[in-house]
Amino acid sequence: MTRTIEFRDALNEAMSEEMRRDKRVFLLGEEVAEYDGAYKVSRGMLKEFGPDRIVDTPISESGFSGMAIGAAMLGLRPIVEFMSWSFSLVAADPILNNAPKMLYMSGGQFGCPIVIRGNDGAGGQLGSTHSWCVEGLYSNVPGLKMAIPAFPADAKGLLKTAIRDDDPVFFLESERLLAYKDEVPEEEYLIPFGRALVRREGTDCTLVSFGRPVHFCLEAAEELAKEGISCEVIDGRTIRPLDLDTIVESVRKTNYCVVVDQSWSFGSPGSEIAAQVHAACFDDLDNAVGRVHSADVPTPYATELEHEYLPNARRICEAVRATTYNA
């Protein structure tokens, strides 16, 4: 059985179910308790679990991230909420220099089962400093896992998997998707990391993306279908680990590929995926892998400029036409 709920409520259900299942799980962050979450993701959780497990913190990302990492090393399973992943930059030392390296540096004595989650990317007129897409920065670091859900059902299933994982997981959400409604199963389920999903089948070109841009790809595929171009849309769901097998299988069928990534192009997940597809599918590709990224400028504030800055459906259509010689 399924029901239609918002993306934010799927996240709430995942955390609440795991907190009922495992007393070691707790949530901390700015405004997660008394205010029910800055974006109402933790709505009602303080009432059920109390202030010992739903913890409001000072505005000190470095401080409460470091505290959570210490708690994880000693056997608890913290969920850290950043109001925005932009704010994680001030916590770079604990979350990048400690959490992913702890198991390795301690010779296996201390793990770090921590989930760090929050809003990633342009959130709608939040300006340059509140609109970071951190996947390009953070996916480079070994020792962590990274999930970027595009739909409510995946948000719930992937977050439950993340909370049970013994490695640190960076869970990247989009503020622009929090109110998005879709069907979510009522029964217990988990979604394994490293398994992409074919959102739309096609024969002429493979579109690969993750997170909010998956919706842009589906919109572009709908438009291109009117021109007789059939696109297969792959939702990667996780970047670390990356399901290259599903991507390769699709590219060997379509012979063309366009990667869509809301990160800036230089040193991005999109560039890495393109490189891996070139290496694995060299004899299958009929053209170089196309790429669509956010423009190489700070995120604009104006609504119209922000839309053009992002890898929108129009830009994806143009890239597919060029890649498949249908310009």
- For residue 294, give the nearest of 235, 193, 212, 224 by alpha carbon: 212
Q: Is the pLDDT of residue 327 over 70?
A: no
- Residue among 13, 30, 81, 130 flagged as catalytic: 130
- For residue 85, give the nearest of 180, 193, 170, 211 by alpha carbon: 170
CATH number of the 2-185 domain: 3.40.50.970
pLDDT in tens, 280-310: 999 999 999 999 999 999 999 999 999 999 9
Residue ranges per structural domain of the chain: 2-185, 197-323
Are 17 and 189 in contact by the 8 Å Cβ rule? The answer is no
Pairing of strands 169-173, 181-185: unpaired
Confidence of residue 191 (pLDDT cuts 50, 70, 90): very high
Stretch 15-40: mean pLDDT, rounded?
97
278 catalytic residue (yes or no): no
**What is the pLDDT at residue 317?**
98
pLDDT in tens, 61-114: 999 999 999 999 999 999 999 999 999 999 999 999 999 999 999 999 999 999
pLDDT in tens, 134-153: 999 999 999 999 999 999 99
61 catalytic residue (yes or no): yes
- For residue 319, give the nearest of 265, 253, 248, 239 by alpha carbon: 265
Phi, psi torsion values for 27, nearest 5 degrees: -115, 135
Pairing of strands 115-119, 77-82: parallel
- Residue among 61, 81, 135, 175 flagged as catalytic: 61
* CATH 3.40.50.1010 is the classification of domain 197-323: no
Topology alike, domains 2-185 and 197-323:
yes
Q: Indicate whether this model's pTM tops 0.75.
A: yes
